[in-house]
Amino acid sequence: MADAPDPTTTFLELLTANERRLALYVHGLVPRDAEAEDILQQTKMIMWKHFGDFQIGTNFIAWARKIAFHQILTHRRQQKRAHLQLGDEALEALGNAVSVLADESSPRHEALRSCLAKLPVEHRQLITLRYYDDLEIDQIADRVKRTEAAIYRALSRVRVTLMDCVQKQMEAMS
C-alpha cells in the first residue's frame, strides 16, 4: 500500500485547486467578510473531518459548496437575525447562481484582471480596499491619509479608467 496516495496531500491539492471558487461562493452568499471568513474556516474543518466520505474522482467543488451551504444555514440560524432577507430556498437558488458566476472565467473577467494589473500601485490599493476588503470610504480615507472627497474622486477616475481599459480589450478580442 506504499503506492496509495496520502489523504492529507490529496485533500490539500483539491482544496488548493478549488479554494478561490469556494471563497467566491461563500462571499457571494454572506455579505459580511468576517462572517464569510469564519464560515469558510468552519467549512474547511468539516471538509477535512469528512474527507474520508468524499469519493475521489467526483466533483470536489460541488461537495465543498454543499458543506459550505449547510454552514451558512447553520450560521444564519445561530444569528437569530437574518442578514439576508431570504428564505432557505431563495438562498439555495442564489447559491446556485453564485456558483455559476464563480466558475466562469469569462473574457471580460480576464480583461478586468489584466487592466487591474496595469493600474498604478496607489490605484490598485484603493480598489483593493474598497472592493476586496469592503471598506467604507471614510475607512479608506483614514487608512491612506486622504480626505473622503479625494477618495471618491480617485475611485471614480479609477473606475472610468478600468471601464475604458476593459472595453478596449473586449473590442480587440472581437
Q: Helix, strand, coil: what percent of the chain each, to 5?
A: 80, 0, 20
What mean pLDDT value characterizes the chain?
Answer: 82
Confidence at residue 107, expressed as pLDDT on a 0 to 100 scale: 76
**Percent of the chain whose pLDDT exceeds 70:** 82
pLDDT at 11: 92
Domains and CATH numbers, the chain: 7-103 (1.10.1740), 107-173 (1.10.10.10)
Predicted local distance difference test score (pLDDT) of residue 117: 85
State yes or no: pLDDT of 83 exceeds 50: no
115-142 burial, b at 16+ Cβ within 10 Å, e below that, comes to bbeebeeebeebbebbeeeebebeebbe
Higher pLDDT, 90 or 31: 31
- 21-39 average pLDDT score: 86
